[in-house]
Amino acid sequence: MKKDILAVLSVLLLLAVVVNGTDVQSIDEYYLTHIDDVTPESETVTISIRCDAVLDHYDQLDPALRSDEFVPPDGVILPPTEYVLREGDTVFDLLDRAVRYNKIQMEYQGSDQNGFGSVYIQGIHYLYEFSCGPYSGWMYRVDGVYPHYGCSSYVLRDGQVVEWVYTCDLGRDVGADWLGGQGK
């Protein structure tokens, strides 16, 4: 008798474990909810967001922003983070995903709202263009190179590393040599 009950209980327990660990989903649902899972086969890209330059130009910074809340003491707003590369992902798509997933404030001007025909990033983490002097704003580099193009025109490839950096000097303070020999 006792044995019976024991057997029945263990079957129940096993069932509960199995059911709990199983997602009951269609294939589409599975792909939708696991699109960001990094597996050995997935193509990935890495993104980081930093504002070190502000630390060196604190005197130029808008007084309202002079706080660790807006400018982290180590300059890191987002450490290098790996994301699955989705087909057609641009630098902007990746940034948008990263700031959403990490709840970082971001404001941008859509590609239909300016003459570049590309998204323009106005502010990240409450640091806006001109927040730290007339030559300040956000720039990005891919694999160490600053492209001449808007972030929504740059389609990413597997393994690329994107860095968003805040400049206080039109890129010179963050190693952008794309000024074509200007004003060095």
Partner 1 sequence: MSAKKLLSAALCVLLVALTVCAGLPATAADERIGSAIWSVEAFTVGGGFLVEPTELPIYAGENAADQLLRLLRQSGLVCYFGGTADDAFYLAYIADGTSTRAKFNRYSGSGRPQNARELRLSPSIPAVLLPHLRDTMVFFDPDDYEKNWTGYLGEFVFTNGSGWMYTVNNDFPGVGFSDTFLSDGDVVRVQFTLAYGADIGGLGATGGNAPGVGNQPASGYYPVANKDALCKTICKALSAGSLSGGETKNAYADALAAMAAPDASQDRVDNAARALADALSKPSDVPPPPKSDEPSVAVSSAVTSEPSAPSETVSASAPPVSEPPDTPSEPPVSNPPETPSTPPEPDTPGDANDPPVPVSDAALSVADGILRWKKAENGSPADGFLLNDAFLASAGSTAGDWYPIGLDRLGISDNFDGYLAVLTDRIEERYREPGRLSAAKATEWHRIALAMLAAGGDPTHAGTDENGNPIDLIADGTYDRGKTAPLGRQGLNGWVWGLIALDSMRYDVPADACDTRDGMIAEILRQQLPDGGFALNGTEADPDMTAMVLQALAPYRDSDRVYAEAVKTVPDAIEDALACLSALQLDAGDFASWGTENVESTDQVLIALCCLGIDPLTDARFCKNGHTLLDGILRYRLPDGGFAHSFAYDPNNPTASPGESNAMAGEQTLLAMAALWRQQNGLHTLYDFRPEEDAEPQENATVRFDDADREAADSLPDTLTTAYEATVTSLLDKLLRSEDFDGKAAYLQKLTDAKATIAAIRAEIDALNAEIRETLYPFDRLTVRDRETVDGIFERCMALSEYDRTQIERFDDVQRAKTQIDGALRGRLLAVVLCVAAAGIAFCLVRRVRKRRKRRETEREELAARYETGEEP
Site of interaction with partner 1 (CB under 8 A): 1, 4-5, 8, 11-12, 15-16, 19-20, 22-27, 29-30, 32-33, 35-36, 87-88, 96, 100-103, 109, 112-117, 128-131, 134-135, 142, 145, 147-149, 153-155, 169-170, 172, 178-184
Kindly state the smallest distance separating residue 153's Cβ from partner 1, in Å. 5
Q: How far apart are CA 48 and CA 90, in angstroms?
A: 15
Phi then psi for residue 131, to 5 deg, are -70, -25
Give CA–CA dist 179/184, Å, rounded.
9
The closest alpha carbon to 168, from 50, 54, 52, 48, belongs to 54
Give min distance, CB of 150 to partner 1, in A.
Answer: 8
Complex with partner 1: residue 50 or 146, whichever CB lies closer = 146
CA nearest neighbour of 89 among 153, 148, 40, 149: 153
**Least distance from partner 1 to the Cβ atom of residue 111, Å:** 8
